[in-house]
Amino acid sequence: MKISILAAGMLLCGSCLMAQQPKSPVELNGALQVEGNQMVGKGGLPPQLRGISLSWSLWQGKKYYNPEVVSWLVKDFHISLLRASMGVEPKGGYLANNEEQLRLMTIVIDKAISEGIYVLVDWHDHNAEKHLEESKAFFALMAQKYSGVPNVIYEIFNEPARQNWEMVKGYSVEVIKTIRQYDKKNIIVVGSPKWDQDVDVAAADPIRGFDNLVYSFHFYASDPNHQEKLRAKAEAAMKLGLPLFVTEWGVGESNGNGEFNLEKSNRWVEWMEGNRLSWVAWNVTDKNETTAIMLPGAPVAGGWSIEQLTESGKYLREKLSKLNK
């Protein structure tokens, strides 16, 4: 069979275009692991994943737990990481309605995997030690389903509110044991006291005997109480060898609302970049508050115009597009 010169050229050109397709974050970084005080990917380099957190899988944020939103965040915000924040205690959460919550989580986790990005499976609870058996049952299901899937990261305690490190550590060890029965290698994120701020306390007495553990560190960039002293706590923890992962931060204040201070937000972003920390910003919702990325009434299937984004949404879209490209 003869192929015309034009047709042959088109075939070659098509092959070139396929070869030039950018790799997904998971193709680039592969299975993550911990070396020293850093989470690393292929070649032992920090992947510095950056993304956005879905809101609580309840209330106004629930409607955005769909495949179209995940695809839009990948396409338009250029995220390399998604956080799926499963509400546990509130009405309609996992404790009262585990079937629906499992369905919502599975939808977005599976879509994130198909998009080639990483996904945090977040037990979004402030009192997880009171729900140890439920947490173990949930993570046993997740670990059996996603064992060996490099995209999946387990976040086992969103934000310990007033628990001391001894309590958080004891809870965490039990959940880690459960996950490791089924998934020996994927990253597990451990919480720390006082809303994931006392990472220096955890660093003084870290969990031992397990591989690939990192510790969550949270802050709200414009909060007057979340500035140099808080950065110093994180820096002290890293110096002690604790690997950190910023699994939640926001441009506003710690209540999710308040001021959006551009200078302070930029300072925090520069700090994360300088320390090669992976991060997730809060949050995908159209609630009328500072840290919401959309204005009230934004479409439930993504496709948001610039005019439908809040100042937070515009800021994060610009940062993510610039840093992740």
Pick the closest to residue 50 from 86, 85, 72, 82 (CA basis): 82
CA separation, residue 65 to residues 82, 90, 237, 307, 310 (Å): 11, 17, 34, 22, 19
35 membership: H or E segment, kind and range: strand 33-35
H or E segment to which residue 123 belongs:
strand 118-124
CA-to-CA distance for 273 and 67, rounded, in angstroms? 29
* Half-sphere exposure of residue 178: CA atoms within 13 angstroms, side-chain side: 20
**Marked catalytic residue, from 27, 100, 134, 248:** 248
Q: For residue 159, indicate whether it is catalytic.
A: yes
**Sequence letter at residue 137:** A
115, 155, 159, 253: which one is catalytic?
159
Task: Please name which of 261, 251, 227, 255 lies closest in space to residue 320, comparing C-alpha atoms.
Answer: 251
Q: How far is CA 312 from CA 82, 151, 211, 226, in A?
A: 17, 26, 36, 18
Give Cα 43 distance to the centre of its chain: 22
Instruction: List active site positions.
Output: 159, 248
